[in-house]
Structure formats: C-alpha cells, structure tokens
Copies of this chain bind each other. A is one copy, B any other.
Amino acid sequence: MKIILFVLSLAINYFCHAQSKPWDSTYKPGNWQLIVDQFRQYPNSSKDIIFLGNSITSGVDWNELLQNPNVRNRGISSDISFGILDRLDEVTEGKPAKVFILIGINDISRNVPDSFILKNYQLMITRIKKESPNTKIYFQTILPVNNEFKPSRNQFNKDEHILYINEELKKMAEREKICLIDLHSHFSGADQKLDKKYTYDGLHLNAAGYALWAELLKKGNYLKN
C-alpha cells in the first residue's frame, strides 16, 4: 500500500509540475544587459531606422545589407517579446524615424502562451505611439522554421503557433493602422516550412535569406520616407 501511495504521489507531482507555469517572462539571454548598455551608448538621430528583434535580426549588418547609413541593428540573440519591452525605452528615447520589429519565435520556443505574445505586441505598439508618436511602426510576420534540420531545436514543431500569431498580427496591424510586412509567405517552401535555400539550420537565415529580406523591404518601399 505504501508503495502504491508513493508511486501515486510521484505521478501527481509529475503532472502538477508539467501543468505548472512552464515559462518565464523575466528570461534574459546571458549578455542581454551588456548589449543593451552598448546600445545606450550609441548616439541617436531622428533619421534612425531601427531593426528590433532576436538573432535573426542581429545576424546581419543592416547598414551593409540595405546600403543605408541610417539603419541601426537592435537585435539580441535569443531575446523574447518581454525583453523587447524591457529595452523599448532605448529605442523610443531616440525618436527614430522607423522601427521594424521581428520577434516571437523564442517566446514560442520557451512556451510563452500565444495570448501573452500578442499582448506584448500590443504593448509595443501602444508604447511606441505614446513615447515617440512620429515613429513609423512596421511589424514583420514570424518566419517559418524547418524541422528537417539537425540538431532539432525548441523552435521546431510549433508551426501552428507561428501561423496563429501571424494571423492575429495581421488583424492587430489593421486595427492599429500600422504596417505589417508579410515575410512568412515569402520564406515558406513546401508544407509552409522555411525554404531550405534560405537557412543553414532550419531557424536562422543564410546570405540568400537576408538578400530576400532586403529585396522585400526595398520592393515594398518601406525604407523610403
């Protein structure tokens, strides 16, 4: 009987643990504060065009890619939407001309519920509109991933979250009258997976991927005043 109770208590403990809040809104990548300190040291200009996001944004030199000296890289590897909110003042205090935001895949990988991610997008819009009313806001849909790459990643096999959030982002952008740039459909290959020609690991972009992103931004005239 004691053994049965013991096994039962283990099982209960396991399931309770599995159902307890499995995500952490305070998560920060290791060098997050150091990188933000560096961002704060750079001078600001009202001509600044900010690219705000995670490793997918940080992984390229936007000045060189777009051949535009006003573009500023504000990507931090592994960052999540809560991290963006925690450093949004560094962006809005400069009263930049534009801000392009791509964030969310690491929230999804860390099991942040879709509703919280969407709430955070809404907070970003509200705060930018309030703190820097002349800044033009561009959201970009979350890129697809491709689970055929090894090693597997926590970002894989959660495609339904990517699709749902992107759908809701479109509605939010319409409601808030901000610009939404649909990257997802352009980067999707078969089965709505990240096309292999644009990635080296199923998550991050290679040079061809960044070239496509730059082409979409230029074709859409998003960088012009």
**Which residues of A approach B to under 8 Å, CB–CB?**
31, 34, 37-38, 40-43, 60-61, 63-65, 67, 69, 72-73, 200, 206-207, 210-211
Nearest-neighbour CB distance to chain B for A58, whole angstroms, equals 10
| Inter-subunit contact A61/B37 (CB<8 Å) | no
Excluding A37-B206, A43-B64, A69-B69, 11 further A-B contacts by CB distance (< 8 Å) are A34-B206, A34-B207, A37-B207, A38-B206, A38-B210, A41-B207, A41-B211, A42-B61, A61-B73, A63-B63, A64-B72
Give chain B residues whose Cβ lies under 8 Å from the Cβ of A67. 43
**How far is B63's CA from A73's CA once the two chains are assembled, in angstroms?**
10
Give chain B residues whose Cβ lies under 8 Å from the Cβ of A211. 41
A-B contact pairs, 6 of them (CB 8 A): A38-B207, A41-B207, A41-B210, A61-B72, A61-B73, A64-B72
Nearest-neighbour CB distance to chain B for A149, whole angstroms, equals 13
Give chain B residues whose Cβ lies under 8 Å from the Cβ of A31. 200
Give chain B residues whose Cβ lies under 8 Å from the Cβ of A206. 34, 37-38
**How far is B35's CA from A146's CA once the two chains are assembled, in angstroms?**
21
Nearest-neighbour CB distance to chain B for A38, whole angstroms, equals 5
Nearest B-chain residue to A59, judged by Cβ:
B38
Nearest-neighbour CB distance to chain B for A98, whole angstroms, equals 16
Give chain B residues whose Cβ lies under 8 Å from the Cβ of A200. 31, 34
Looking at A63, A65, A67, A73, which has the most chain B CB atoms within 10 Å of its CB? A63
**How far is B206's CA from A60's CA once the two chains are assembled, in angstroms?**
21
Give chain B residues whose Cβ lies under 8 Å from the Cβ of A43. 64, 67
Nearest B-chain residue to A65, judged by Cβ:
B42
Give chain B residues whose Cβ lies under 8 Å from the Cβ of A60. 38
**How far is B73's CA from A40's CA once the two chains are assembled, in angstroms?**
19
Give chain B residues whose Cβ lies under 8 Å from the Cβ of A42. 61, 64-65
Question: What 9 A-B pairs have minimum CB-CB distances, sorted nearest first?
Answer: A69-B69, A42-B64, A41-B207, A38-B207, A37-B207, A63-B63, A34-B200, A34-B206, A61-B73
